[in-house]
Amino acid sequence: MASKKKTFRILATLLGGVVFAAAGAGGYWLYANRIVGVSHANASAPTDMLGNKRGEESKSVSTPPARISPDPIYMPLDPFTVTLRDEYSSNVLYVGFTLRLDDLASRQRIEKHLPELRSRILLELTNQSPELIRSKAGREALLAKIANIGASPFSMEQQPQMVANVLLTQFVVQ
């Protein structure tokens, strides 16, 4: 009788260990996919004001390859300061970007509509989580989103801006 109890305890302990290991692995997998999930959506699909595909929530996207122009035009943006909140804490993000543009017409359109562009970028920054923004993949996804936001036309009659790349020039999370 004592040996059956001992065998049962050993089996219960092993089974409990396997269940905990599986739960831990599943939790890690969910967490890792939420942080570095990559969307390979069609780039020609219509987008909203923030550069997200219509009908979809904000997702991480892979960084598009930078187009190289022979004479790049750099346009620094004033730094942004936003509060990032998650379930347990609040952090401050201070970030600066410089846009690399392919043509002067894009720069002129952005300068004319700069308050609207800054508003779109602020809306995207406030949707970021502190954990996501601290990871390299999260920062790269953010730069890709900022490039999409910068390239989006400001009205239906305008052409998209030719944003070749977005450079991260200042970055602090506290």
β-strand partners of 100: 74, 165
Is the predicted pLDDT of residue 135 greater than 80, yes or no? yes
CA distance 156 to 160: 10
Residues 58 and 50: beta-carbon distance below 8 Å: yes
Where are the domains positioned within the chain?
Answer: 73-173
CB atoms within 10 A of CB 35: 16
Q: Comparing C-alpha atoms, which of 73, 68, 159 is closest to residue 113?
A: 159
pLDDT digits over 60-93, tens only?
445 455 555 567 899 999 999 999 988 888 899 9
Read off the pLDDT of each residue in 125-143 and give the average, rounded to a whole number: 92
Residues 153 and 160: beta-carbon distance below 8 Å: yes
Split at pLDDT 50, 70, 90, the class of 35 is: very low
pLDDT digits over 92-122, tens only?
999 999 999 998 999 999 999 999 999 999 9
Q: Please tell me the predicted confidence (pLDDT) of residue 72.
A: 82
